Amino acid sequence: MNRRLPKLIAVLLASLIASASVSALADSAWAQQHPRREQINGRLARQNGRIRQEVREGDLTRAKARRLHRADHRIRMEERHFAARHHGAVTPAEQARLNRQENRVSRHIGR
């Protein structure tokens, strides 16, 4: 009986670790596809495309494009920070704040 106890403990620990990792994966998949986060990140991706397009067309200098990309990067980092505080979600107030910041960047893309 003493020989079986360590094996039983090892099996129980392994199953506990496996179930914890599966729930962590489920949380992260939900968090990444949270509707407010998805809207914010989709918008950032579209703005990134607009910046690149303006540079290709010669309507935006590389220096200004770098500044705009940096501003978008700060917004993305803030979004990740908000999500980390709320288990993968962004509150409506935080979404509104990030959208205002994105609006400011967006206005500078076409100038």
Count of structural domains, the chain: 2
Shared domain check, 81 and 37: yes
Answer whether residue 66 shows pLDDT above 50. yes
Could you tell me if 98 and 69 lie in one domain? yes
CA distances from 24 to 13, 20, 64, 68 (A): 17, 6, 40, 34
Whole-structure pTM value:
0.68
- Name, in order, each residue with C-beta under 8 angstroms of 110's C-beta and a sequence gap of 6 or more: 54, 59
- How large is the average pLDDT for residues 13-28? 55
- 14 and 67 co-located in one domain: no
User: Residue 97 has which token pair?
Assistant: 């704040």
87 and 41 both lie in a single domain: yes
> Do 92 and 39 reside in the same domain of the chain?
yes
- When comparing pLDDT for 55 and 13, which is higher? 55
Statement: residue 41 has pLDDT above 70: yes
Mean of all residue pLDDT scores within the chain: 82
- 61 and 85: one domain? yes
Looking at residue 2, its pLDDT comes to 63
Same domain, 45 and 95: yes
Query: What is the rounded average pLDDT of the residues 1-30?
Result: 59
Q: Quote the domain boundaries for residue 73.
A: 33-109
pLDDT at 23: 43
Query: In 3D, which of 48, 52, 26, 62 has the Cα closest to residue 106?
Result: 48
> Sign of torsion, CA 36 40 45 50?
positive
